Amino acid sequence: MKVLMVCLGNICRSPLAEGILKEKLSRSDSVHEVDSAGTAAYHVGEPPDGRSQKIAKKYGIDISGQRARRFTRADFDQFDRIYAMDRSNLEDILALARDSRDISKVDLILNAACPGEDRQVPDPYYGGSDGFEKVFQLLKTSCEVIANDIAGLQQAHNKKA
Ligand code: 4NP
């Protein structure tokens, strides 16, 4: 399974989502790919925001090696699932979709934990460090559901094979 996490700058929220899901899938027998991108180009090439790195480290996850990149239409071909952090990201991603197959890959990440509620991961960029703790906890809850879902799909696939 190939999963892409998307926010605005790719330095605060989606790098955390990438790091958390990678950590949750690290004990899986199968190879999965997790990446992240931003809908805007402001921070391309930069490492994650220091506050995101710090909160990840607090929970034993190292995201310091990540570098920001911009979401492109080609990502629809590269990834099976594309998770947006908020509705604005979602709209920007969908604006690049070519067909219903592209559209079907995209959802708000918090819908994994709270289906149909269309909750958003708040942008913590202009706030304090408590915002990053909240973002981490929200993402952790959804990444657990996503990782379990992927593990279940993998089991079903292995049974068939
Ligand atoms: P992110 O947060 O989308 O979670 O990476 C932001 C990062 C940078 C900016 C806004 C949000 N910015 O305006 O530069």
CB distance 16 to 52 below 8 Å: yes
Choice among 49, 75, 86, 123 that is catalytic: 123
| pLDDT the model gives residue 28 | 83
User: Is 7 an annotated catalytic residue?
Assistant: yes
The binding-site residues of ligand 1, defined as CB within 6 angstroms of any ligand atom, are 7-13, 38, 42-43, 123, 125
Cα 52 to Cα 27, 66, 105, 114, 142, distances in angstroms: 23, 11, 26, 24, 17
Tell the residue nearest (CA) to atom 7 of ligand 1.
Answer: 9
Choice among 7, 49, 75, 81 that is catalytic: 7
Across the chain, mean pLDDT equals 96
| Residue at token pair 């990502």 | 75
Give residue-wise pLDDT tens across range 24-82: 999 887 889 999 999 999 999 999 999 999 999 999 999 999 999 999 999 999 999 99
* Domains present along the chain, CATH in parentheses: 2-160 (3.40.50.2300)
What is the band of 124 on the pLDDT scale with cuts at 50, 70, 90?
Answer: very high
What is the band of 1 on the pLDDT scale with cuts at 50, 70, 90?
Answer: very high
